[in-house]
Amino acid sequence: MSMIDLARRTTLAAIAAAASFATPAATAAGYPDKPVKIIVAYPAGGDTDVLARWIGEKLGARWGQPVVVENRSGAAGSIGSAYVARAAADGYTLLLAPNTLAIVPHVLKPGTGADYDAQADFTPIAEIGTQSLFLASSQQSGVKSVKEVVAGVKAGTLQSYASPGAGSPMHILAELFDKAAGTRINQIPYRGSAPAIVDLVGGQVPLMYTTLGPITSYVANGKLRLLAVADPQRSPFAPEVPTFAELGYKNVEVGAWQALLGPRGLPAEVVQKLNAAVNEIIRMPDIVSRAAVMGLTPTGGAPEALARRIAAEDTRYARIIKEFGIQAN
């Protein structure tokens, strides 16, 4: 090969390399120039779905591009999450997910759906907000206190509770409460909160661990009763409800959060643009007021803060799941 040919080949390689590095930035500069999908790994009607639609509506208005929410439920939320993990890292397929994202990979058996790593396979964009978890009872159950729950489980008159899915924060909470109370109650896992709440209100199941938003109206009309909250302090959204610790049950603390993520390798410029938009949206007065009804405290913050939270919870829940031997059916 002549020196001229070598120089030509080296120049072409350099141009190709430069183009490959320039592509993400060029894409980010015009982002978005086509519709964006937000994947929700649960059925319509739950907290995550509602939040995704609020965020999507605001992003669409801001950008002048459609932002479509697509529900891909199943396998405790892992089907939709794995779909995003495998998507192109261009910012046009995003995931709005609760902290179940960090739990499910430790719960499902290999090959049953959770084919992703919560830390390695996603690009954190922004935390949206945090929520308290409550133990609620149905009107039909007649249960009015945690003390009555413990007595009923031990007597065999209360045998099950509804959860939005095996491996959910609610499932973890139930295991922690059983350990603290010396009880054992059967989980009835549903494909999301919405169908579980239908059966709770209908009296098909007596108890459920849940966030506040989907049940607020049922608590107001007396069809459901809040028995305890799994936070260190009482919730400002339901200050009359005692904590598990107040009632004598220690280490029964599990919260929920919601966050926006993308596939691994999302360009930094796209992440920054999305992060700035989400942080502005969650502080809009109408979103703040709607979030309050849902029992959600907007948080926001940098992508790095969300990455640290995911890492911490991934480690914590791996330990808890191993301790209790929790597995999805």
User: Quick check: helix, strand or coil at residue 36?
Assistant: strand
Compute the distance between CA of residue 70 and CA of residue 199 in angstroms, rounded to an integer: 24
Task: Provide the H-helix boundaries in the chain.
Answer: 3-29, 47-63, 78-85, 104-107, 146-155, 169-181, 193-202, 216-220, 268-281, 285-294, 303-324
Residue 75 has pLDDT above 50, yes or no: yes
The pair of three-digit structure tokens given for residue 314, joined into one six-digit string: 């991934």
Per DSSP, what are the bridge partners of residue 118? none
CATH 3.40.190.150 is the classification of domain 31-131+257-324:
yes
Global pTM exceeds 0.75: yes
Q: What is the mean pLDDT of residues 27-49?
A: 90
- Answer whether residue 8 shows pLDDT above 80: no
Q: Give the list of residues 6+ apart from residue 261 with CB closer than 8 angstroms, or none.
A: 84, 94, 95, 96, 97, 101, 122, 123, 124, 125, 306
- Which residue, among 236, 231, 114, has the nearest Cα to 176 in the 3D structure? 231
How far is residue 32's CA from residue 122's CA, in Å, rounded to a whole number? 19
The domain spans of the chain are 31-131+257-324, 134-229
Q: Cβ-count burial of 145 within 10 angstroms (0-12 exposed, 13-18 middle, 19+ buried)?
A: middle
Coil/strand/helix, residue 125: strand
- Reported confidence tier of residue 29, pLDDT bands at 50, 70, 90: confident
Please check the confidence at residue 7 and state whether its pLDDT lies above 80: no
Pick the more confident residue, 193 or 254: 254
- The residues, any chain, with a CB within 8 Å of residue 135's CB and separated by 6 or more, are 146, 149, 173, 177, 207, 208, 209, 226, 227, 228, 230
Q: At what angle do helices 3-29 and 268-281 cross, to 10 degrees?
A: 10
Which residue in this structure is represented by tokens 């909250």? 229
pLDDT at 106 over 80: yes
- Which of 297, 294, 296, 269 lies closest to 123 in space, CA to CA? 269
pLDDT digit string (tens) for 271-310?
A: 999 999 999 999 999 999 999 999 999 999 999 999 999 9
Instruction: For residue 166, give the 3-state DSSP assignment.
Output: coil
pLDDT beyond 50 at 3: no
What span, in angstroms and rounded, lies between the C-alpha atoms of 249 and 176?
9
Is a pLDDT exceeding 90 seen at residue 36? yes
The β-bridge partners of 219 are none
Band the pLDDT of 317: cuts 50, 70, 90.
very high
Region 266-270 average pLDDT:
97
Q: How far apart are CA 165 and CA 289, in angstroms?
A: 28
- Fold agreement (31-131+257-324, 134-229): yes
The CATH class that applies to domain 134-229 reads alpha beta
Contact present, 97 and 165 (Cβ < 8 Å): no
The candidate with the shortest Cα–Cα distance to 225, out of 131, 140, 157, is 140
Averaged pLDDT score across all residues of the chain:
90
pLDDT band at residue 114, thresholds of 50, 70 and 90? low
Strand order in 122-131's β-sheet? 67-71, 36-40, 93-98, 256-263, 122-131, 296-298
Q: Which of 126, 74, 131, 175 is nearest to 307 (CA)?
A: 126
Q: What percent of the chain has pLDDT over 70?
A: 89
